[in-house]
Amino acid sequence: SDGGSVSILSVSNDVKGIKSDGAMAFNGGLFDVRVQGAQSKGIKCTDLAIAGGTLLFRLTGGPVLGTATNGSLVYVDPSYCTAIKCDSNLTINAGTIIVTHSGVAGKGLSADGDITINGGTLDLFTSGGNSATFTNADNVLDVAAADCLKADGTLRILGGTLRAISTGAAGDALSAEGDAIIGVAGVTNTPYIEAATRGARVYLYGTTMDGEYSNPKAFSAQGNVTVNGGTFRATTVNDGGEGLESKNVLTVNGGDLEIVCYDDCMNASSNITINGGRIYCYSTGNDAIDSNGTFLFTGGLIVGSGTTAPEEGFDCDQNNFAIRGGTMVGTGGASSTPTAASCTQRAVLYQATGTSGTVVQVKTATTNLLVYKLPRTYSGGGGGGPPGGGGTASLTMLFSLPALTNTTYYIVTNAVVSGGTEFHGFYTGATVTGGTTSKTFTASSMVTTVQ
């Protein structure tokens, strides 16, 4: 299509608004389609390239939980109501795509191959809930749930503006079965991505304390996730909701990332490497950043806040936590300890108690090293020290900066800060007055603990 206007109302089950057994291209005009039938599609083709125009989808259809067999196993193979379904690849270079889907387990954009977004404006909204539980092809209990956008291959978001919000239980905003790539190295102002989930997790099986759930995810990939640039915003509000997740390796080379989640804000099943960018992670129920393997930090700025013990600002499960550059400050009830032998930049673990809004200043006799306003209250009971008053240590603040050297420093709490530039409580160029000197220490080791 290169122009004109097409309006379609589809009310029957298992039909397509527009269907092609080959490739399609949409370069301009208006495509306005309403889909009401179960497992029906707005557009169904092999490959689709969108280079302009407006595509508007309003869908209410649900899935069909058809059965299939694999030897003696009889399992459910769902078929979904979807705005755009590509048997191969979907490429978006320009144009406007708006999807509103209120059906059970509704799908927005789906491709069996790759999805590549180079430009355009996408607004994707799914609000339908999940299906009943069923046995899937892996012979485990599962549910069908909503996805705003899903690629069975590689997901590349290299330009444009993308907003994806899923409010139904177990719904995902953005996901890939393969790798995911965000942004282009050296390009700072594009893409712009907002990914959010509002739904609760869904119980599948197991014990109450250690069961299996279908969890909502703002951005998740089964393969590697690489962030090269652009702006990324992610939020989740319910238990199980993670922000930016890789089932393998997560690498951040640049970009501006702000993630507020109930569960881990950033998580990788293998390794996390951060080489640049500006990152803010705030978890309301778990860790700010969690690597199930190693954690390497070489550059950029990270401000991370995990919740109270045993959750952490920075969690590195394999105990190979290397800091070799950049600026990081993280708070939690606990923290992984950087691996001194792997580090080339000093770090400090400060253990105390803390009250939300308290300013912690770390300085030499003449110069500020760190000025940070605590994002929440970490308090214990009985006989500890500042910041925040008496109690055993329940705040662990890990910080590391290139300027941290083998020098004597003073930790001042309850100071007043004015001016300067703030990034979620982290101040640069600010004026700090007043406060009480609570600790004095010398950063003589690669990792220094201050209690």
Band of pLDDT at residue 380, cut at 50, 70 and 90: low
Q: Is the pLDDT of residue 30 over 60?
A: yes
- b/e 186-218 (16+ beta carbons within 10 angstroms → b): eeeebbbbbbbbbbbbbeeeeeeeeeebbbbbb
Tokens representing residue 321 in the block: 């936590």
Query: Average of pLDDT values for 87-91?
Result: 98
pLDDT on residue 319: 77
Q: Is the pLDDT of residue 392 over 80?
A: no
Tokens representing residue 263 in the block: 């569960």
Q: Is the pLDDT of residue 189 over 90?
A: no
CB 308 within 8 A of CB 333: yes
Q: Is the pLDDT of residue 104 over 60?
A: yes
- b/e 62-93 (16+ beta carbons within 10 angstroms → b): bbbbeeeeeeeeebbebbbbbbbbbebbbbbb
pLDDT on residue 1: 66
CB 292 within 8 A of CB 315: no
133-137, 236-240, 378-382 — which one is most confidently predicted on average? Answer: 133-137
Q: Is the pLDDT of residue 385 over 70?
A: no
Tokens representing residue 72 in the block: 């003696």
Tokens representing residue 377 in the block: 């209250």
Q: Is the pLDDT of residue 243 over 50?
A: yes
pLDDT on residue 309: 87
CA atoms within 13 A on the CB side of 284: 13
> Rounded to two decimals, what is the model's pTM?
0.94
Query: Average of pLDDT values for 164-171?
Result: 97
Q: Is the pLDDT of residue 383 over 50?
A: no
Among 207-221, 254-268, 272-286, the range scoring the smallest mean pLDDT is 207-221
